[in-house]
Each structure stands twice: as structure tokens, then as C-alpha cells.
Amino acid sequence: MSQQHTMASTDLPASKKKLLVTGASGLLGLNLALQLRDAYQVTGVFNQKRMHQTPFELIQGDFFVENTAEKLVAEVQPDVIIHCAAMANIDACEKDQEKAHYINGVVPGKIAFEARRNKIRFIHISTDAVFDGVDCGENGYHEEDRTNPNNVYAQTKLLGEQNVMDQNPDALVARVNFYGWSVAQNRSLGEIFFQNLIQKKPMMGFTDVFFSTLYVQNLVRILDRLIHEQASGIYHVFSSDYQSKYEFGVSIARRFGLDASLISPVSWKDSGLAAKRSPNLIMNTDKLQRLLGVSLPTQMESLENFYQAYRDGLPELLKKTGF
Ligand SMILES: NC(=O)c1ccc[n+]([C@@H]2O[C@H](COP(=O)([O-])OP(=O)(O)OC[C@H]3O[C@@H](n4cnc5c(N)ncnc54)[C@H](OP(=O)(O)O)[C@@H]3O)[C@@H](O)[C@H]2O)c1
């Protein structure tokens, strides 16, 4: 484990809480660390992808190495941990089930235990894919609805949730689905649609897969609120409405002034994807809305923030931190 001090964190007021973000080289972790760096003293954990010019501290850690969680906690002594690191590629999880089981299923419990032992707030990032998407009812899946993961990624993420709650009942498990700008420029469906459309490449869009995805910066704002609320247990953190993946692609094309006819409407069953997908992941967010007392962003509001971040140069800024 090696530490790379990038900017003078000693300039920060002593009152700032220390936030440890795992998976800081990933889509969520990096956006989260960048967005919350003024509110917290942020340390981001990367594994293989070392970044540069990040305006927060970085530390290397591989969760396959024994005692990594203990060492990170001892070194950083955070007040809050947000655990974003995972094997998040669905097809990679099918290919390497043992690794997926360990990283997505076992490691979250180890970090949750360490957080509890050291009285650190712990937020674990999970997924809408814990549901099979067969029947979410009219109002979408609630937190307590029956889970039934239908691929290795989802099974291991569900195990991770269970281990977290077993080891640390005060932890918060946020089930999410998000998109945003990343270093690799292809880590989210939003970026993939954008990149293909801007290069005038034809794409498929599933008309029979529905989701309540949220732009990552909206997600981060809500996670920050949940930290302040000291929320614990499972929460659904999604947009207040939903779209099919086809409609999502068409909305992106329209907002960015690109050619929506490049996207062909297709069924996921004809796509040849290796892992089975959950077709109907409409998520109910009543519990979160009750806690926060605000309406959550709609798909269109979320997309507007994705567009504004593009106009403000976020993709270029992220490229500069590139691996
Ligand atoms: N993307 C989505 O729409 C989506 C949907 C639902 C839930 N989620 C959940 O959201 C979280 C973040 O996803 P993401 O899309 O941001 O992931 P991502 O871009 O694939 O990033 C994964 C991160 O995990 C780190 N990591 C992987 N193996 C590691 C190991 N052995 N030790 C330490 N770090 C390791 C990676 O580090 P290096 O790259 O440096 O090796 C990287 O920073 C995950 O829990 C995922 O399951 C994502």
C-alpha cells in the first residue's frame, strides 16, 4: 500500500470530516471524490489505475491482499467510508465467479466490520440488479421486496449487502443505478450512447429493459445528504421515474443535438449478451423521499445535469486525471 499526496490537504480546516472513498478510479468513486472534496477531507483508494493531478489524496490498495481494509482504516482514520470498489462488469463476473464472489460478496463485510470496530460511518454501494425484474408491480421495487438476482454479478452484490448488514447494522446500503462521465469515457451507458452517436455509429437500444437510472452527480448529492441524516439500512437511490434503455438513448441524442435514428429499437433477448439481464428495474424511492423530504430528480432533470457537466468540460477534466 503506497500513499500519493497530490494536493496540500493540510490546508483544509481541521473541522472537515475525513472521507475514505474506495474505487476512486472508477466511475462513481472518482465523481464522488471530486464532488465532495470541498465538504470533506477526501482520500481515494485505487487499485490498478493510478491517476494523476487529482485534487484529493490517493492511496493504493488491493482488496485481494489480506488485511487491506484494516490497513486503510489504520492509515487514513476516516470518519466516513463510502465503499464503491467492486467488480462491476457483469460479463467479467460470469467469467471469474470466484473473484466476483470475494470482491463483491466477502470484502464489503470485512470493511463493514472494520468500520463498526472503529466507529466509522459506513456506506456500501449496491445495485438494482438484486431484483430479477420480472414483476416490480405498478410502483416499482421497494427496499423490502423479495430479491432474486439472476446473474453472478447480482448474486455476489446481494451477498455483499447481506454481509454488510450482518457485520454492521448501522451501515447504509444504497442500491443505485447511475451514469456519468468517466476517465475511460465508456464506463456508463450514457457515455456509450454519447460516444457512438457523436461518431455517427449505429447502436441498439433495448425497448424492453426499463430502469430508474440517475446522473452520478445527483446520486452523490443524495449520498451526502444520507451521511448527514445518519441513515442506516437499505435505501433505493434512483430517479423518481423511469425509461427504457432505448428511450434513454433517444433522450441523450435529442439533448446533445445528435441523430436519434442511429439507435435501433431491439429486444434484449436478441442481443446475444452473455449474462442474463433483469428486464424491468423500476425502483420505488418513497422511503428515501420520506426521509429527505424532497422530490428526487426525474430522468430528464438528471439528463440535463449530465449535459451541463459536458458543457462545463467535465469529460476533459476527467481525461486529465487519466490512467
Ligand atoms: N455503473 C453502474 O451503473 C452501477 C449500477 C449499479 C450499481 N453499481 C455499483 O456501483 C459501484 C461503483 O461502480 P462503478 O461503475 O463506478 O465501477 P467501476 O467504474 O468499474 O470501478 C470499479 C472500481 O473498483 C476498484 N477495484 C476493483 N477491484 C479492486 C480490488 N481488488 N481492490 C481495490 N479496488 C478494486 C477499481 O480500481 P482499479 O480500476 O484502480 O483497479 C475501480 O476503482 C459498484 O459497487 C457497482 O457494483 C454500479
Measured in angstroms, how far is the CA atom of residue 49 from the centroid of ligand 1? 11
DSSP for 132-154? Answer: -SS---TT-B-TTSPP---SHHH
Distances (CA, A) of 177 to 60, 67, 73, 316: 26, 29, 27, 23
Cα–ligand 1 centroid distance for 27 (angstroms): 7
What is the helix (H) or strand (E) element at residue 278, kind and residue range? none
Question: What's the gap in Å between 176 CA and the centre of ligand 1?
Answer: 13
User: Helix 299-311 vs helix 216-228: angle between axes, to the nearest 10 degrees?
Assistant: 110
Q: Pocket residues for ligand 1 (CB within 6 Å)?
A: 23-29, 46-49, 61-64, 84-86, 88, 103, 125, 127, 157, 176-178, 187-188
d(CA 159, CA 109): 9
Percentages helix, strand, coil for the chain, rounded to the nearest 5?
40, 20, 40
Q: What confidence score (pLDDT) does residue 33 get? A: 97
Is the pLDDT confidence value at 208 over 60? yes
pLDDT on residue 276: 67
Nearest CA to ligand 1 atom 48: 177
Cα–Cα distance measured from residue 195 to residue 137, given in angstroms and rounded to the nearest whole number: 34
Residue nearest to atom 36 of ligand 1 (CA): 23
Q: Give the pLDDT of residue 5.
A: 38
Q: CB atoms < 10 A from the CB of 169, how many?
A: 11
Task: Give the residue, by CA position, lying nearest to ligand 1 atom 22.
Answer: 26
pLDDT at residue 6, as a whole number: 38
Read off the pLDDT band of 320 (50, 70, 90). confident
Closest atom of ligand 1 to CA, residue 184: 19
Q: Please give the Cα distance from 172 to 164 (Å, whole number).
A: 9
**3-state SS track over 25-41:** CCHHHHHHHHHHCCCCE
- Residue-range domain boundaries for the chain: 3-184+212-240+284-296
DSSP for 62-131, please give it.
-TTSTTHHHHHHHHH--SEEEE--S---HHHHHH-HHHHIIIIIIHHHHHHHHHHHTT-EEEEEEEGGGS
Q: Is the pLDDT of residue 275 over 70?
A: no
The number of beta carbons lying within 10 Å of the beta carbon of residue 10 is: 8
Which pLDDT score is estimated for 200?
98
Q: How far is the CA of 14 from the centre of ligand 1 (A)?
A: 30
| pLDDT at residue 81 is higher than 90 | yes
What integer is the mean pLDDT of 291-314?
A: 97
Instruction: Using pLDDT thresholds of 50, 70 and 90, give the confidence band for residue 269.
Output: confident
Q: How far apart are CA 106 and CA 157, in angstroms?
A: 9
Pocket test for ligand 1, best of 30, 48, 65, 106 (most atoms within 8 A of CB): 48
Does the pTM exceed 0.75? yes
CA of 23 to the centre of ligand 1 (A): 5
Please give the angle made by the CA atoms of 86, 88 and 89, to the nearest 5 degrees: 140
Tell me which CATH code domain 3-184+212-240+284-296 carries.
3.40.50.720
Ligand 1 centre to CA of 6 (Å) is 22
Q: Under a CB-based contact definition with an 8 Å cutoff, are residues 303 and 254 in contact?
A: no
Cβ(154)–Cβ(91) below 8 Å: no
Amino acid at 43: T
